């Protein structure tokens, strides 16, 4: 019954947002609360939601001030030189722009933090997409495809969870995955080429895309907010912030909070200008934070009610016993829906140990199954349970449902390419 309720919850959520009957925020809150009440979890519901919001609170704070900080830096013109350099390199060529997006995302993703990657790459590339009249869904698609591959880095999250769960080191899990990641990035560059070529043809036939959202991170440019004389100071502050983030000196949310306050004072000493900056970007920050806390309620109910664990156990049970000899392939294939419908914590700490215990009886080593479980990361970030995805779509000014429909087939393609590569190279 719990498994049925879990899939029903996610199914209703997906239907509502893909048909645009509800916003992601309202669906994230209303759907799980309604189903939990109907299932008799009313007395425990308050604690479940509170625990879910607690788990995600620091992430929500970080994203609020990260958006405010990078939005302020865009207003000051910090990214203008970078945009101009990239524009000179790619020209008025959508193909070069999409390939550049893939390469830039892969490079920025080396820090292992998806949220900062989205902020930096969207800030740098969205102006180019606007100037060339390209569909911003292409931008979010390519960023997510590249980000999902780079998410396998040991400091990115999933691999660290595998190593911790199975008590293995990076030499057994991550190092053998490097060729798979390389092939995955080449696949993303190929997809970027296809999408760029298709967009170039579309622009030639039908003209430039004009349906941009004025509430994206770039917004409406205000020349009065430019601070060209302070560009070196702003650059130094931003680099310092990134160093603090990489070295994990203080919690990231606190770092962005302090950096935003310092940047506000330096660039806009007058109180009314500081208030103008906050007012201008508060809507964008609030919309993202709202969805983040909504996702906390969603996952809090899934975890607190035991639904998520039940879903995972039920999915394992449907695998026929006769498939045991192919547990490595089964694990890789099932990691795609597992990591989409479950959180990484639920999968890697709750489900993967059960898979490994089964594999041990069949003579399949834990490191093989650990590596196989990472194949699904090619589609993981599209899950409605991943908070940072809502940040990406909000920054680019696109609907989550549109992004999901546009990107899903390419994301599944990434997982398939990684699976075939892993089998051919003997990684799993």
Q: For 338-392, what is each residue's pLDDT tens digit?
A: 888 777 777 887 778 878 877 877 778 888 888 998 988 888 888 887 888 888 9
Q: Domain of 250?
A: 1-207+224-425
Average pLDDT, the chain: 85
212 lies in some domain: no
Give the SS3 label for residue 398. coil
158 inside domain: yes
User: pLDDT for 154-210, tens place per residue?
Assistant: 776 788 888 877 888 878 888 888 999 999 999 999 999 999 999 999 999 988 888
Q: Please, which contacts does 136-139 make with residues 24 or more away whose CB atoms are closer than 8 Å?
A: 136/209, 136/212, 136/216, 136/396, 136/397, 136/398, 137/398, 137/402, 137/403, 137/406, 137/407, 138/98, 138/195, 138/196, 138/199, 139/101, 139/396
For 69-92, the pLDDT digits (tens) are 888 888 888 877 877 777 777 777
More confident residue, 202 or 114: 202
Residue-wise pLDDT for 273-307, tens only, equals: 888 888 888 877 887 788 788 888 888 888 888 88
Whether 323 is covered by a domain: the verdict is yes
Contact present, 136 and 227 (Cβ < 8 Å): no
**What total of structural domains would you count in the chain?**
1
33 falls within a domain? yes
Helix or strand holding residue 409 (H, E): helix 400-424
Buried b (16+ CB within 10 A) or exposed e, 230-246: bbebbeebbeebbebbe
113/212: higher pLDDT? 212
Using a pLDDT cut of 90, give the percent of the chain over it: 23
Q: Tell me: pLDDT of 66 over 70.
A: yes
For residue 217, tell me if it sits in a domain. no
**154 in a domain, yes or no?**
yes
Report whether pLDDT(115) > 90. Answer: no
What per-residue confidence (pLDDT) applies to 220? 65
Give the DSSP letter of residue 347. I
Among the listed residues 223, 228, 260, the one whose alpha carbon sits nearest the alpha carbon of residue 119: 260
**How far apart (Å, rounded) are the C-alpha atoms in residues 207 and 189?**
25
Question: What is the reported pTM?
Answer: 0.78
Tell me the two tokens of residue 333: 């294939």
Q: Which pLDDT belongs to residue 320?
A: 67
Cα separations in angstroms, 324 against 319, 328, 355, 363: 8, 9, 10, 10
Tell which residue, 298, 257, 258, 264, has the closest CA to residue 62.
257
Q: Where is 54: in which H helix or E strand?
A: helix 42-76
- 373 within some domain: yes
Nearest CA to 121 out of 395, 344, 422, 313 is that of 395
Instruction: Mean pLDDT check: name the lowest of 167-181, 314-328, 383-397, 409-423.
Output: 314-328
Residue 336 clears pLDDT 70, i.e. is over it: yes
- Please name the residue that has the structure tokens 């892993």: 422
Question: Does residue 219 sit within a domain?
Answer: no
pLDDT at 315: 66
Whether 5 and 341 have beta carbons less than 8 Å apart is answered as no
The confidence score (pLDDT) of residue 102 equals 93
pLDDT at 258: 93
């Amino acid at each position: 019954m719990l498994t049925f309720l879990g899939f029903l919850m996610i199914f209703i959520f997906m239907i509502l947002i893909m048909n645009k009957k509800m916003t992601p925020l309202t669906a994230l809150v209303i759907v799980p609360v309604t189903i939990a009440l109907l299932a008799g979890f009313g007395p425990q519901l308050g604690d479940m939601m509170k625990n879910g919001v607690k788990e995600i609170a620091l992430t929500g704070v970080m994203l609020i001030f990260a958006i405010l900080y990078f939005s302020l830096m865009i207003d000051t013109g910090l990214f203008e030189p970078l945009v101009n350099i990239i524009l000179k390199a790619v020209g008025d060529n959508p193909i070069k722009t999409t390939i550049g997006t893939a390469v830039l995302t892969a490079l920025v993703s080396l820090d292992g933090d998806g949220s900062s990657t989205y902020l930096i790459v969207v800030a740098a590339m969205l102006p180019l997409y606007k100037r060339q009249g390209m569909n911003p869904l292409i931008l979010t698609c390519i960023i997510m495809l590249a980000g999902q591959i780079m998410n396998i880095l040991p400091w990115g999250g999933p691999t660290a969870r595998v190593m911790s769960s199975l008590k293995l080191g990076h030499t057994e899990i991550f190092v053998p995955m490097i060729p798979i990641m390389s092939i995955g990035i080449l696949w993303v560059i190929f997809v970027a080429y296809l999408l760029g070529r298709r967009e170039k043809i579309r622009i030639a036939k039908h003209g430039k895309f004009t349906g941009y959202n004025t509430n994206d991170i770039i917004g409406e440019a205000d020349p009065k907010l430019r601070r060209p004389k302070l560009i070196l100071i702003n650059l130094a502050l931003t680099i310092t912030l990134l160093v603090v983030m990489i070295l994990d000196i203080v919690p990231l949310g606190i770092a962005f909070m302090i950096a935003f306050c310092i940047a506000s004072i330096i660039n806009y000493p007058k109180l009314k200008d500081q208030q103008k900056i906050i007012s201008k970007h508060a809507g964008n920050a609030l919309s993202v934070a709202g969805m983040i806390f909504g996702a906390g309620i969603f996952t809090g109910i899934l975890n607190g009610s035991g639904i998520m664990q039940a879903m995972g156990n039920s999915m394992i049970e449907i695998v026929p016993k006769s498939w045991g000899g192919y547990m490595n392939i089964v694990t890789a294939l099932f990691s795609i829906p597992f990591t989409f419908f479950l959180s990484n914590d639920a999968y890697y700490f709750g489900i993967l140990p059960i898979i490994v215990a089964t594999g041990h009886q069949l003579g399949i080593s834990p490191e093989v199954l650990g590596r196989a479980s990472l194949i699904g990361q090619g589609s993981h970030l599209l899950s409605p349970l991943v908070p940072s995805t809502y940040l990406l779509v909000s920054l680019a000014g696109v609907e989550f449902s549109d992004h999901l429909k546009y990107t899903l087939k390419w994301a599944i393609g990434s997982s398939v390419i990684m699976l075939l590569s892993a089998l051919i190279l003997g990684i799993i």
